[in-house]
């Protein structure tokens, strides 16, 4: 079974780029980030690479809808913008490796609200809300928090499905939360850094959007990387939004051409 450590990620990526090493050093020294830095430096992905597309689909079918009956209009800006040193990707992959299983929505929600993940998102969020908005309606908070957490669960499951399908197609995909969260690289294969996105003017539409591009960290790498930005078409509305088969085929072709090119 494959496994990827922090050291593997640094060897493959940041060792080739002064900008990436500078960013990594600044992140490691950032005040208040000691716990997440220690977590990432000691984190190994192994169960992740045993997951098959069928495994992901089985969990999707067993899950209730993460958003329930919550509507877009119920989101709250201050909950949408709330952050902690631990990103959702850190916590989702922590669950995967700790439990050696893919969580259903209910399992992940419980883990995030009352389990190990709560200390790094739900509890800090609740404390902030109670301090700044003491007179707000708690049910309104709860529904807005479900909207935020549910969307992130859907996003992580979509990425998990894509990674499993790429590996099933024979692409030697590598992944580590360090690359994903800090360097904005969804995954890599040999000399190819893959950055996927769903076109959205608010976040990413080609070169537009607020998400930093991987070029910021790797444009001067030696030897150079091929950085592939690949738009992924959604299948449409439903329980889960996944990359279409056509998008997957395009991505496989892009990676293979870049590796062999």
What is the chain's pLDDT, residue by residue, as a tens digit (261 residues)?
589 999 999 999 999 999 999 999 999 999 999 999 999 999 999 999 999 999 999 999 999 999 999 999 999 999 999 999 999 999 999 999 999 999 999 999 999 999 999 999 999 999 999 998 888 888 999 999 999 999 999 989 989 999 999 999 999 999 999 999 999 999 999 999 999 887 655 544 444 444 568 999 999 999 999 998 887 766 554 457 788 888 889 889 989 988 855
Backbone dihedral angles phi then psi of residue 154, each to the nearest 5 degrees? -60, -40
pTM, full prediction: 0.91
> Considering only CA atoms, which of 221, 213, 207, 216 is closest in space to residue 194?
213
CA distance 113 to 125: 11
Measured distance between the N- and C-terminal CA atoms of the chain, rounded to whole angstroms: 28
Q: How confident is the model at residue 261, as a pLDDT? A: 54
What DSSP string runs through 105-144? Answer: HHHHHHHHHTSGGGGGTHHHHHHHHHHH-TTS-HHHHHHH
Locate 148 and state its tokens.
């935020």
CA distance 70 to 195: 30
CA angle 41, 51, 80 (to 5 degrees): 60
CA distance 170 to 52: 12
Radius of gyration for the alpha carbons in the chain, expressed in angstroms and rounded: 18
Helix (H) or strand (E) holding 228: strand 226-231
Q: Coil, strand, or helix at residue 188?
A: strand
Q: Are 159 and 186 in contact (CB under 8 A)?
A: yes
Q: Are 36 and 85 in contact (CB under 8 A)?
A: yes
């Amino acid at each position: 079974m494959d496994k990827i450590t922090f050291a593997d990620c640094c060897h493959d990526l940041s060792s080739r780029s002064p900008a990436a090493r500078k960013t990594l050093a600044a992140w490691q020294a950032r005040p208040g980030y000691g716990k997440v830095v220690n977590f990432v430096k000691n984190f190994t992905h192994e169960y992740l690479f045993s997951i098959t597309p069928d495994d992901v689909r089985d969990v999707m079918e067993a899950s209730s809808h993460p958003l329930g009956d919550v509507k877009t209009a119920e989101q709250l800006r201050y909950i949408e913008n709330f952050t902690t040193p631990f990103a959702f990707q850190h916590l989702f992959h922590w669950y995967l490796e700790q439990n050696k299983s893919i969580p259903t929505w209910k399992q992940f929600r419980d883990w995030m609200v009352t389990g190990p993940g709560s200390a790094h998102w739900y509890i800090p969020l609740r404390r902030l809300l109670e301090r700044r908005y003491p007179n707000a309606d708690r049910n309104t908070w709860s529904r807005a928090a479900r909207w935020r957490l549910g969307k992130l669960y859907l996003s992580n499951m979509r990425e998990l499905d894509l990674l499993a399908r790429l590996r099933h197609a024979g692409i030697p995909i590598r992944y580590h939360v360090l690359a994903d969260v800090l360097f904005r690289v969804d995954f890599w294969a040999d000399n190819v850094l893959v950055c996927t996105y769903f076109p959205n003017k608010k976040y990413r539409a080609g070169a537009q959007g607020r998400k930093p591009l991987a070029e910021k960290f790797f444009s001067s790498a030696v030897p150079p990387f091929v950085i592939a930005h690949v738009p992924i078409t959604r299948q449409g509305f439903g329980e889960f939004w996944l990359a279409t088969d056509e998008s997957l085929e395009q991505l496989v072709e892009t990676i293979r051409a870049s590796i062999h090119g």
